[in-house]
Structure 1
């Protein structure tokens, strides 16, 4: 008997910035490893974020993000423990790409819709400085 896990992703755009995700839908078997890919053509958007929304939930959960690069701690700890990892190239002024990897699929933990987003690194600097208290 096979258990199947359905993972969906969406391609979106905002202010003429197109972010592409592939594949648009993915059906996997329990125990299988999968990869979701995100890309865009805007060299100045060096931050890539991945979110998850479970079918019974309204809120998005931050899986992780890369700022110029993906590091070992790019994935939130709770997701890292469940087999999630991120990799890709966010450097330079060329097109950006990043992948969300999920190891050892489990329907109860991984069935969801996954979203990728991109933003400029300048926005992070501004938000960090505005949240600092002296």
Structure 2
């Protein structure tokens, strides 16, 4: 279970971030995300890290679930050492790291209420399939 909370104390606005902490084992991969919860004032940078134990998995994706939505959006990913951030998130989000072990998601200027959400990572082996129409 996770929640977002917004507090307004006059000029001081605080946002409570609750992150899903993944600690699971699938195909011999343990995934850990930190911090589990975070409280930061607006305009202060936020950094979340994700690491896993199996270098055969070479892609780490970052997802966002907004306070008012049940759907998730892909923020960005790192595949090996190549990073990508989705176009709609490029203004304040940055992804870094190496998909074989560790990645960070930075939120540079979290002043918008829409940026305060549940963020989580996932690891995978990307696969390309070629289909032919015969």
Name the TM tier (shorter chain).
0.7 to 0.9
Larger relative contact order (CA 8 Å, sep ≥ 6): 1
- Structure 1 unpaired stretches of 5+: none
Match of 1:84 in 2: 93
The answer to whether the Cα contact below 8 Å between 1:46 and 1:119 also exists between their aligned partners in 2 is yes
- Structure 2 unpaired stretches of 5+: 1-10
Where 1:125 maps in the other structure, the secondary structure is coil
Looking at structure 2, the residues matched to 44 and 119 of structure 1 have their Cα atoms a distance apart, in angstroms, of 9
TM-score of the aligned structures, taking structure 2 as reference length: 0.81
Q: Deviations over 1:67-103 (max 9, x none)?
A: 11233xx00011112x000011235xxxx00000001
Looking at structure 2, the residues matched to 18 and 97 of structure 1 have their Cα atoms a distance apart, in angstroms, of 12
Where 1:21 maps in the other structure, the secondary structure is strand
The answer to whether the Cα contact below 8 Å between 1:53 and 1:113 also exists between their aligned partners in 2 is yes
Match of 1:68 in 2: 80
Please state which structure has a larger fraction of its residues in helix: 1
Looking at structure 1, the residues matched to 34 and 49 of structure 2 have their Cα atoms a distance apart, in angstroms, of 5
Which of these two proteins has the greater Rg computed from alpha carbons?
Answer: 2
In structure 2, the CA distance between the partners of 1:10 and 1:19, relative to structure 1 (3 Å rule), is: same
Please state which structure has a larger fraction of its residues in strand: 2
The answer to whether the Cα contact below 8 Å between 1:85 and 1:100 also exists between their aligned partners in 2 is yes
Residues paired across the two proteins, number: 122
Q: Deviations over 1:34-87 (max 9, x none)?
A: 10000011110101100000122111110011111233xx00011112x00001
How far apart are 1:18 and its partner, in Å? 2.0
The answer to whether the Cα contact below 8 Å between 1:3 and 1:107 also exists between their aligned partners in 2 is no
Match of 1:100 in 2: 105
